[in-house]
Amino acid sequence: MLDPNLLRQTPAELADRLRATRGFDLDAGAITRLEAERKRIQVRTQELQQLRNARSKAIGQAKAKGEDASGLLAEVAGLGEELKASEAGLERVRNALEAIALGLPNLPDESVPLGRDESGNVEQHRHGTPRGFGFQVKDHVELGARHGWLDGDAGAKLSGARFTVLRGQLARLHRALAQFMLDLHVAEHGYEETNVPLIVNAESMQGTGQLPKFEDDLFGLDVGETRRYLIPTAEVPLTNLVRDDILDAGRLPIRMTAHSLCFRAEAGSHGRDTRGMIRQHQFEKVELVAVTVPGESEAEHERMVRCAEVVLEKLGLPYRRMLLCSGDMGFAARKTFDLEVWFPSQDCYREISSVSNCGDFQARRMQARWRNPETGKPELVHTLNGSGVAVGRALIAVMENYQQADGSIEVPEALRALMGGVQSID
């Protein structure tokens, strides 16, 4: 959530910034009208409360003197009804303002390039050289179909479109990738391994920005009279672990990692992406989350991106780093780097990790704070999150980049110990 002072004090300027950077239309006039109404009702509510208190005191004094207080009692009753209506009106206006505030995306950092879509993203660097093949390259679906290891038909039979069953050595390779990433981030990068619930409440979804704006993209569950949600990423439960907390400065930065299933009801429908495992309703990721003091979040962002890059480098996968433009960033992000891995079958780089600095945007929604030792006062933390990396896409990248002419798949050196020492699966 953005600083509410921006909405209250400079709504027109905020609207201009959101339009220029995010292509988001904010009705500044509506904000101004609601703010004026809020102030008017709030003043009247306070007046009524003061009048009621004064009349109640007068009633007590009249009764103490044995005087007739019926007129005062009637007046207080009338004030009570008006006060109740005024408080309800104030709550309605506040809710309307909060609904607008919850729907506003984060403002981009000054270092983020302006752009409307992915065409405005800026390449930062590349690592590795795509392999040359002396044979016809197969995509991951063809490679996985060889032994029925990657079975979309079975997934559709069980659950519908965009679900996949993995079997045999390919399922083992998928598991080895997740294990490799977790071990790397814990042992070498200093993250705390965390196991989190896959089902969270609405407060958690709102805290990280999925609600209310993106409810249609989520898998919701009605448990009795309570609405809960399957997580779209472990970012949600990990980040919400500090919700409503005031953290000691000595605890920061907090770095957490989790391997989890992820669920997204809206997985896209972009032609080639509907084939195989590129876009699934259920997938797995190793997530990275950091909580820092504001002055350290930029350096933490760079560190987190580097942790994700090391995964790809140890797997021997060519990739490039992209700085996302203002129009292509996620709702809660103020700055995002994407890592894109090389897919030989598509002859292009595709996203495998997205690492974002959210600043205090999520922290304000969650009321996640730290106590500044210099002032002794609570202040909002900064939160960061990123994929370290998407397990399914890493599997696809390994399959395609390490494929052999006979359809077998060489196992990257970094995974062989986790695969029982085998050098290839065929």
Q: How distant, in Å, are the alpha carbons of 36, 60, 80, 95 from that of 49?
A: 20, 17, 9, 21
387 is in an annotated binding site: yes
287 is in an annotated binding site: yes
- Which residues are known to be catalytic? 264, 279, 351, 354, 393
131 is in an annotated binding site: no
408 is in an annotated binding site: no
Instruction: List beta partners, residue 260.
Output: 285
Dihedral-angle region of residue 33 (phi above 0 means left; psi in -120 to 50 means alpha; beta otherwise): alpha
340 is in an annotated binding site: no
354 is in an annotated binding site: yes
- CA atoms of 207 and 364, how far apart (whole Å): 8
235 is in an annotated binding site: yes
363 is in an annotated binding site: no
81 is in an annotated binding site: no
Burial state string for 341-374 with b = 16 or more CB within 10 A and e = fewer than 16: bbbbbeeebbbbbbbbbbbbbbbbbbebbbeeee
Q: How distant, in Å, are the alpha carbons of 15, 25, 99, 109, 332 from that of 20?
A: 9, 9, 22, 13, 17
266 is in an annotated binding site: yes
**263 closest CA partner among 386, 159, 403, 124:** 159
- CA atoms of 106 and 116, how far apart (whole Å): 15
Q: Is 195 exposed, middle or buried (0-12, 13-18, 19+ CB in 10 A)?
A: exposed
- CA atoms of 277 and 70, how far apart (whole Å): 76
Q: What is the DSSP string of 143-175?
A: HHHTTT-EEHHHHHHHT-TT--EE-HHHHHHHH
Q: Is 238 exposed, middle or buried (0-12, 13-18, 19+ CB in 10 A)?
A: buried
**179 closest CA partner among 385, 424, 415, 18:** 415
Residue type, 102: L
- SS3 sequence of 33-64: HHHHHHHHHHHHHHHHHHHHHHHHHHHHHHHH
Q: How distant, in Å, are the alpha carbons of 83, 90, 100, 103, 363 from that of 97?
A: 21, 11, 5, 10, 19
Q: Is 260 exposed, middle or buried (0-12, 13-18, 19+ CB in 10 A)?
A: buried
265 is in an annotated binding site: yes
15 is in an annotated binding site: no
Mark the binding-site residues for L-serine, compressed into ranges. Answer: 233-235, 287, 387
Mark the binding-site residues for ATP, compressed into ranges. Answer: 264-266, 351-354
Mark the binding-site residues, compressed into ranges. Answer: 233-235, 264-266, 287, 351-354, 387
